[in-house]
Amino acid sequence: MHTPTTEARPSIYYNYEVFKPWLASAHPEQARQKVAIAGSGPAGMVAALELARHGVPCVVLTSELQFSQGSRAICFTRRSMEILQQVGVADRMTEGGLPWRFGNSFYRGQRVFRMEAPHDPDDRFFPIINVQQQYLEEYLHDACKANPLIDFRWGNKVNAVLQKDGYAEVEVDTPEGPYTLETNWLIAADGGRSGIRTAMNLPMEGASYEGVFVIADIRIDLPFPTERRAYFDPEWNPGNTILMHREPHGIWRVDYQLPPGETPEDALRPESLKARIDAQLAMIGHAGLPWEMDWSSVYSARTLTLPDFVHGSVIFTGDAAHLLPIFGVRGANTAFQDAQSLGWHLAYVIKGLAGPALLQNHSTERVGAAREIIEEAGKSTRFMAPPSRGFRILRDAVLSLSLTQDFVRPLYHWRTSRPHEYSHSALNCPGDDNALFKAGPAHGAPPQNVRLGVSDGVSADEKDFLLDHLGGGFDLLYFTDSALPAALQQVIEQARTRGLPLKVTAVGAPYVVAGAQQHLPDADGHLRQRYGVPANGAAYLLRPDQHICARWLTLDAKRLQAALSHALPKL
């Protein structure tokens, strides 16, 4: 019998709702599910919402009766917001969030590096926005609840998974005891300590770092703007690093490295937390300022990934699939990209629009992304928490040089999470004009957002962007001011008849044109310029995760057919 706590988690700024458990006895006998998702964190819920968006129902199994304890993830990137926009929660994130784009690194009281993340007028979202994870989970959960295709089951803990021939038998424990759930696919989104991964005994590749960090959220009134603050080698914590972030609701994140050898239990004792946070406040000139603890935890940096995310009927996603260091905000931000990718790849396989090769493509692309992130994050981690004497001496030499030498300062910049470009994806069309373009997003790249209608006199607060109009299936951006050629319309119609969602947007047309579902006037040619389109007749094909899989300077019916067949392998 699984008995999750019915007591609301403590928090000084968030009111936890305790949900009622889903009990098998209160529901009729269940047929085999298409998809079950273990875990209701950011990865699990975005996967559920994306699947539903592509018309595939799922069951979400979540062990607890409430949202996660503490804020955990707080920094969400622009690409994450673009993904959250697709599942309908970006507005709520924007409303309550604190956007930012500057980071500061301090050493011996001097600011030795300032990171300025670019913010293009063509971007709807800031490079990063801070929102506590409980709010994000609440917004996602509200969206799940409103969706009839998502069967959300609180208090349902996955106990065991038995792989059968083409499906999985899942033993789910509840407050009234266990029941068996059969599902064609089980998405393991059960987090960094994934019980499913452990039970399946799957080895991960990569490295674990020894440095242990305390993460604490406190309520305090500090007069600093929303910018990242990193302090290196301060007198109160020699050799170690401290990070500070402003969060909504008067909360600050304080994140500090522990001296080697100290146990997490010791570090989390209230006296120890208090002494260190007071020392940090004193160092930044705010000794004695009152503060209150909300939540604290410890973590260590790891750069580990499963080498394959698909194992029989079980698919791993988010932290269950990989463990990434927080430097560069890579946990949840990578999980959104995983879940968005998984959503359409799996849905299209289930709907018979493509064969199992498409699911393998998901794994290949996302494992590739995880490995790239590990490579980048490894560099940041080796600077933040040097793993050996050599790395420590070099780091210290850079700190010392940075007080007078400009050339070492960029070494302070840890690369922030960014969307992976699937440049070598098997879905990219080999016979298109990709190499002939001089600008615009290339094969496998995420889309470039573009502010629309500026020259049409749209007011500054009435913002309209390209990505507001795309998503939910394949998107064809066709650059034209007149009707689509009949042969092209025919290929599009045939694809739709086979069940493929394919939306056509006519760019450069100030009026409705035959064969397009929508038109964007692009009167000033700005969109065409950003997409490197010199003349009418050009086109971009975007996958349902909005990454580019083909682009042409001149599109015709045959070329579109070739790209669609290539993007949806039948085997």
| Footprint of other proteins (CB under 8 A) | 393-394, 396-398, 400-401, 405, 407-408
- For the bound state, the minimum distance from the C-beta of residue 384 to other proteins, rounded and expressed in Å, comes to 18
Burial class (CB in 10 A: 0-12, 13-18, 19+), 30: middle
Query: What 3-state class would DSSP assign to 558?
Result: helix
Q: Does residue 142 sit in helix, strand or coil?
A: helix
Q: Which is nearer to other proteins, 289 or 394 (CB)?
A: 394
Residue with Cβ nearer other proteins (149 or 394)? 394
Q: How open is the CA angle 80-84-85, to the nearest 5 degrees?
A: 115
CA 195 to the chain's CA centroid: 22
Q: How far is the CB of 117 from other proteins (least distance, A)?
A: 25
Using DSSP, state whether 208 is helix, strand or coil.
Answer: strand
Closest separation between CB of residue 396 and other proteins, Å?
A: 6
Contacts with 426 (C-beta within 8 Å, 6 or more apart), sequence order:
357, 361, 364, 569
Contact status, residue 101 vs residue 128, Cβ threshold 8 Å: yes
CB of 141 to other proteins, least distance (A): 50
Q: In sequence order, what DSSP letters do the residues of 296-363 get, joined into one string?
A: EEEEEEEEEE-S-SEETTEEE-GGGTEE--TTTT-HHHHHHHHHHHHHHHHHHHHTTSS-THHHHHHH
Neighbours of 174 (CB within 10 A): 23
Minimum CB–partner distance for residue 379 and other proteins (Å): 15
399 in helix, strand or coil? helix
Q: Which is nearer to other proteins, 233 or 481 (CB)?
A: 233
- Min. distance of Cβ 398 from other proteins in angstroms? 7
Q: Give, for 144, the enclosing helix (H) or strand (E).
A: helix 133-145
Residue with smaller CB distance to other proteins, 4 or 234: 234
Helix (H) or strand (E) holding 90: helix 90-96
Compare residues 241 and 334 and give the one whose CB is closer to other proteins.
241
Nearer to other proteins among residue 101 and residue 409 (C-beta): 409
Report the nearest approach of other proteins to the CB of residue 399 (Å).
10
Q: Minimum CB separation from other proteins for residue 415, in Å?
A: 19
Is the Cβ of residue 18 or residue 401 nearer to other proteins in the bound state? Answer: 401
| Nearest distance, CB of residue 386 and other proteins, angstroms | 12
Least distance CB 385 / other proteins (angstroms):
18
> Which C-beta is closer to other proteins: that of 282 or that of 401?
401
The vertex-148 CA angle with 146 and 153, nearest 5°, equals 80
Amino acid at the residue 413: H
Judge whether 34 and 181 are in contact, CB under 8 Å.
Answer: no
Least separation in angstroms between CB 394 and other proteins: 6
Task: Please name which of 333, 459, 384 lies closest in space to residue 42, comparing C-alpha atoms.
Answer: 333
Please tell me the number of Cα atoms within 13 Å of 438 on its side-chain side: 5
Q: For residues 351 and 379, which CB has a smaller minimum distance to other proteins in the complex?
A: 379
Pick 240 or 360: Cβ nearer other proteins = 240
Q: Where are the beta strands (DSSP E) in 96-194?
A: 98-100, 102-107, 110-116, 128-130, 150-154, 157-163, 168-173, 179-188
Nearest residue (CB) to other proteins, 175 versus 234: 234
CB 67 within 8 A of CB 16: yes
Backbone conformation region of residue 440, classed left if phi is above 0, alpha if psi is from -120 to 50, else beta: left
